[in-house]
């Protein structure tokens, strides 16, 4: 499988720990169910990035599951965060939304799903730390505008629609500035209860 997956390194880095372009995320060590959901979404038309669609469009569920399990098994350290050029008040706003949310807008805190350590949870919630700021921005904006869709009920689309563009800038600035704790892993179980229904959670176990 390692030999078959070598082409993935062109975008995701030689060891699947992301490249410096700011838009290709780390896939090493992500929950297998999360990776499986993303691969299926590219294959089934919910995500439309052409190089990924080309790679997976004819792959079976069984093979996508093998790919997801392979990348989930890779454990490598995270590099230190890159400096983020953002005003202190913007970063503080991002911290507040990440850890507290905004009850007035029905906006849950990121940590209520992605865990207090923001490193995700099995089977299908990804880490928010260790990602390029541009990638986080692009994903949240794509959910907000409907260019990115997950399995219904699409909890992330609902969250993103409640975020303003300025909120997205703040959250991505805060997250990108945070170091990843040593030996950090996704939590073994979902936080309970989740604030919104997420179709991808059940799908990740099928």
Three-class SS state of 121: strand
Whether the predicted model's global pTM rises above the 0.85 cut? yes
Residue 10: count other Cβ atoms within 10 Å of its Cβ: 11
DSSP 102: B
pLDDT, tens digit, 9 for 90 and up, residues 44-60: 999 999 999 999 999 99
Task: Tell me if 145 sits within 8 A of 194, measured CB to CB.
Answer: no
Which residues neighbour 183 within 8 Å (Cβ) at sequence distance 6 or greater? none
Domains of the chain, by residue range, sit at 6-203
pLDDT, tens digit, 9 for 90 and up, residues 5-28: 988 988 888 766 655 566 778 899
**What is the predicted pLDDT for the residue at 22?**
65
Taking residues 183-206, report their average pLDDT: 87
Q: Which CATH architecture has domain 6-203?
A: Orthogonal Bundle (1.10)
Which residues neighbour 134 within 8 Å (Cβ) at sequence distance 6 or greater? 22, 23, 172
**What is the predicted pLDDT for the residue at 76?**
85
Map tokens 């807008």 to a residue: 105
Residue 95 burial by Cβ neighbours in a 10 Å radius (0-12, 13-18, 19+): middle
Task: Tell me if 162 sits within 8 A of 83, measured CB to CB.
Answer: no
């Amino acid at each position: 499988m390692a030999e078959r997956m070598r082409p993935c390194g062109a975008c995701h880095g030689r060891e699947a720990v992301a490249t410096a372009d700011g838009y290709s995320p780390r896939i090493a060590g992500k929950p297998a169910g999360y990776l499986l959901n993303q691969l299926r979404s590219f294959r089934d038309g919910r995500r439309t990035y052409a190089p990924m669609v080309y790679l997976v469009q004819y792959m079976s569920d069984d093979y996508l599951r093998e790919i997801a399990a392979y990348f989930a098994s890779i454990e490598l350290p995270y590099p230190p965060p890159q400096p983020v050029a953002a005003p202190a008040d913007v970063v503080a706003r991002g911290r507040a939304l990440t850890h507290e949310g905004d009850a007035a807008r029905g906006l849950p805190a990121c940590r209520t799903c992605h865990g207090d350590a923001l490193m995700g949870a099995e089977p299908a919630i990804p880490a928010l730390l260790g990602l390029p700021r541009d990638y986080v921005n692009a994903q949240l904006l794509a959910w907000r505008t409907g260019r990115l869709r997950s399995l219904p009920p699409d909890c992330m689309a609902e969250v993103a629609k409640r975020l303003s563009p300025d909120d997205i800038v703040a959250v991505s600035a805060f997250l990108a500035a945070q170091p990843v704790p040593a030996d950090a892993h996704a939590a073994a179980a979902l936080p309970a209860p989740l604030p919104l229904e997420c179709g991808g959670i059940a799908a990740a176990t099928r």
